[in-house]
Amino acid sequence: MSSSNTINLANPHLSELKVDHLYHIGFNSAQPLEELFGDVQVVILGGANARMHDIARIIGSRLKNAPISTEDVKPIGETSRFHLFKVGPVMTASHQMGQPSFSILLHEITKLLSFAKAKNVVYIRLGTCGGIRVDPGTVVFTDRSYDGALNNYHTLINCGKTIHRESRFSEELNKELVECAEQINIPNTIGNTMCADDFYEGQSRLDGAICEISQQDKMDYLVQLNEKNIINIEMESLVFGAFTKYLNIKATTMCVTLIRRLDGDQVADGAHEFVQRPIDVLLQYLKKRDIVE
Ligand code: R2B
Ligand code: URA
């Protein structure tokens, strides 16, 4: 963030573009972005289109100022890749699964909000994950994110060179959200997260179509994760923590555990009832910020 608390992009080449086309979300810098998005305060990111639509509907209907009826909440911009919603000062967007897709969305919404001069914007990713030792249904707030080799940085290749960016979320935002979770009695913890590029082999599961590890290899690895205070495993936090830290955007990841990986790898149908928990924490946070009733 810059001194005026708008998002300060870190790209000197952008000023050379006459119009910046935000290709995947279907907006461009020639549009009146300040009018459309200048009031955004909170950005909610999650994997699935339908879930982000539901969250936008709930927030829209509970807005303190000018509530929006649920049938009027519709995706905006280009919808073939991501679904983006704007309800009052809240933007919600689906990012699909994995870091490459999420990273594209992050670049484009961040340019959009910077061009719109939105101030003090907070980014929250909410979703699901696998827990290691904690009980299913625990909401985990990520402090640091690690890759599968237990590096606390996101690696990218730029012009053939390897770049590492530390991945860490806002301590302040995590504390605020923990307080919200406590107020509504949702089991929660702050800890570190392992971010994998795949659900099966990348998360040391034994139930993929290919598996080259033994049960003992998996257990030894889960113990190693535990030694780094890694509580959970998901697929987007590493790039998210690195990107937002680099641009000084207040952000975090809050994911509910669907399973306890020390007990197995399969996600049972019933686990999906837990998906509501991070949404309830979010609504409590928006209430505290006086955005929803
Ligand atoms: C959690 O759940 C998804 C995989 O099922 C992935 O997007 C993630 O991070
Ligand atoms: N999402 C993941 O990435 N892993 C799990 O085990 C569950 C949900």
Q: Which amino acid, residue 59?
A: I
Question: Is residue 104 within 8 Å of 151, Cβ to Cβ?
Answer: no
Nearest to 231 by CA among 199, 206, 257, 267: 257
Q: State the pLDDT confidence band at 269, using cuts at 50, 70 and 90.
A: confident
Inform me whether the pLDDT recorded for 188 exceeds 70. Answer: yes
Q: Is the pLDDT of residue 252 over 90?
A: yes
Statement: residue 195 has pLDDT above 60 = yes
Phi, psi of 254 (to 5 degrees): -125, 115
| Integer Cα distance of 83 and 1 in angstroms | 25
pLDDT of res. 267: 96
55: exposed, middle or buried (Cβ count in 10 Å: 0-12, 13-18, 19+): buried
Residue 190 backbone phi and psi in degrees, to 5: -100, 135
Max CA pair span of the chain: 57
| Nearest atom in ligand 1 to 237's CA | 9
Phi and psi torsions of 42, nearest 5°: -130, 135
Grade residue 272 by pLDDT with cuts at 50, 70 and 90.
confident
Identify residue 2 by its one-letter amino acid code. S
**Nearest CA residue ID for atom 5, ligand 2:** 130
- Whether the CB-CB separation of 9 and 117 falls below 8 Å is answered with no
Q: Whose CA is nearest to atom 8 of ligand 2?
A: 129
- Ligand 1 neighbourhood includes 77 CB (under 6 angstroms): no
Question: CA of 116: how far to CAs of 59, 77, 78, 280, in Å?
Answer: 22, 15, 18, 29
- pTM of the predicted model as reported, rounded to 2 decimal places: 0.98
Say if residue 271's pLDDT is above 90. Answer: no
Nearest protein CA to atom 2 of ligand 1, as residue: 128
Question: What pLDDT does residue 2 have?
Answer: 53
Q: How far is the CA of 125 from the centre of ligand 1 (A)?
A: 11
- As a whole number, the mean pLDDT across the chain is 97
Assess whether pLDDT exceeds 80 at residue 209. Answer: yes
Q: How far apart are CA 145 and CA 143, in angstroms?
A: 7
Rounded to whole angstroms, the Cα distance separating 197 from 237 reads 11
Strand partners, 21: 28
Q: Lowest mean pLDDT of 2-6, 185-189, 285-289, name the range.
A: 2-6
96 has pLDDT over 70: yes
Q: Provide the pLDDT for residue 143.
A: 99
- For ligand 2, say whether the CB of 129 is within 6 Å of any of its atoms: yes
| Ligand nearest, relative to CA of residue 202 | 2
Two structure tokens written together for 158: 């730029």
Q: Is the pLDDT of residue 1 over 70?
A: no
User: Does the pLDDT value for residue 3 go beyond 60?
Assistant: no
pLDDT of residue 136: 97
Residue type, 196: A
Nearest CA owner, ligand 2 atom 6 = 130
111-136 residue pLDDT tens: 999 999 999 999 999 999 999 999 99
Distance, CA of 117 to CA of 156 (rounded, Å): 28
3-state secondary structure the chain: CCCCCECCCCCHHHHHCCCCEECCCCEECCCCHHHHHCCCCEEEEECCHHHHHHHHHHHHHHECCCCCCHHHCCCECCCCCCCEEEECCEEEEECCCCHHHHHHHHHHHHHHHHHCCCECCEEEEEEEEEECCCCCCCEEEEEEEECCCCCCEEEEEECCEEEEEECECCHHHHHHHHHHHHHCCCCEEEEEEEECCCCCHHHCCCCCCCCCCCHHHHHHHHHHHHHCCEEEEECCHHHHHHHHHHCCCEEEEEEEEEEECCCCCCCCHHHHHHHHHHHHHHHHHHHHCCCEC
* Mean pLDDT on 10-21: 98
Q: Is the pLDDT of residue 233 over 70?
A: yes
268: pLDDT confidence band, cut at 50, 70 and 90? Answer: confident
